[in-house]
């Protein structure tokens, strides 16, 4: 089994050209490039991250397969105004099997794009019920929550993102907790330009290190 060596620089060029051509025949004639530049490295990356991710949550689905942990390159055009056949991005999502990572449980992610790459943890769009339980968890264990998010004060590696309620929700907590309490949904993201790490085996270590930093917050969320 081949170890992860980093992405090749041609991977980004392939994503851009494939979307620009917008042609199933062209993609099929270049499928071997898709496999070698994108699909195989994503599979290798997931395999090498598996022990560390299972230590964060043994219920994670770590099967390196499309539509399980790896995104499809084909775009679903049924529910969007964007009708191009292919995406110009590709990503992996690590979540618990059988649960809706978009609304119900947080997920870890890594994504490559034409202008850079990013990784982090959170929700695509958490449901109101999930966020209500999250706020109840903060109310019940404010000190544990503060400890879980202390990394944001110690480093600028991750940023907190997500829409805020226009009408302020009642909150007894001061300081940084307010910033979390007022979220409709949230995710944490580390965003970078294409750099040497992306194109080297060091990406595995970098992702694992970042995800372990986010681990205590992830465990706080899933327990509440």
Domains of the chain: 10-223 (3.30.930.20)
Assess whether pLDDT exceeds 80 at residue 99: no
Whole-number Å distance between alpha carbons of 108 and 69: 10
Q: How confident is the model at residue 113 (pLDDT cuts 50, 70, 90)?
A: very high
pLDDT value of position 169: 79
Q: Are 63 and 92 in contact (CB under 8 A)?
A: no
pLDDT of amino acid 78: 67
pLDDT in tens, 36-83: 999 999 999 999 999 999 999 999 999 999 989 999 999 876 666 666
Between 41 and 170, name the one with better pLDDT.
41
Average pLDDT over residues 147-170: 91
Which of these ranges, 9-13, 65-69, 103-107, has the smallest mean pLDDT?
Answer: 103-107
Instruction: Read off the pLDDT of each residue in 124-129 and give the average, rounded to a whole number.
Output: 89
Write down the pLDDT at residue 44: 97
The rounded distance, in Å, linking the Cα atoms of 190 and 110 is 9
pLDDT value for 100? 62
Cα 133 to chain centroid distance, Å, stands at 22
Instruction: Report pLDDT digits (tens) over 173-194.
Output: 767 788 898 999 999 999 999 9
Average pLDDT, whole number, for the chain? Answer: 92
How far, in Å, CA of 189 to CA of 172, rounded?
A: 27
The end-to-end CA distance of the chain, in Å, is 39
Q: Output the pLDDT for position 16.
A: 96
Q: What is the pLDDT of residue 224?
A: 83
Q: What is the mean pLDDT of residues 114-138?
A: 93
CB 108 within 8 A of CB 187: no
């Amino acid at each position: 089994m081949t170890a992860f060596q980093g992405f090749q620089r041609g991977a980004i060029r392939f994503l851009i050209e494939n979307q620009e051509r917008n042609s199933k025949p062209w993609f099929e004639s270049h499928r071997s490039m898709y496999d070698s530049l994108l699909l195989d490295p994503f599979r290798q990356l997931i395999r090498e991250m598996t022990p560390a991710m299972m230590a964060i949550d043994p219920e994670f689905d770590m099967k390196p397969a499309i539509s399980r942990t790896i995104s499809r390159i084909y775009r679903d055009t049924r529910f969007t105004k964007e009708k191009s056949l292919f995406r110009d991005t590709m990503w992996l999502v690590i979540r618990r099997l059988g649960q809706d990572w978009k609304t119900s449980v947080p997920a870890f992610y890594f994504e490559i794009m034409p202008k850079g790459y990013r990784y982090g943890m959170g929700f695509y769009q958490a449901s109101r019920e999930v966020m209500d339980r999250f706020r109840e968890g903060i109310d019940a264990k404010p000190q544990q929550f503060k400890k879980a998010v202390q990394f944001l004060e110690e480093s600028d590696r991750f940023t907190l993102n997500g829409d805020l309620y226009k009408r302020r929700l009642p909150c007894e907590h001061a300081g940084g907790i307010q910033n979390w309490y007022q979220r409709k949904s949230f995710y944490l993201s580390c965003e970078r330009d294409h750099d040497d790490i992306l194109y080297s085996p060091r990406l595995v270590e970098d992702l694992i290190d970042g995800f372990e930093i986010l681990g205590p917050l992830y465990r706080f969320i899933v327990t509440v």
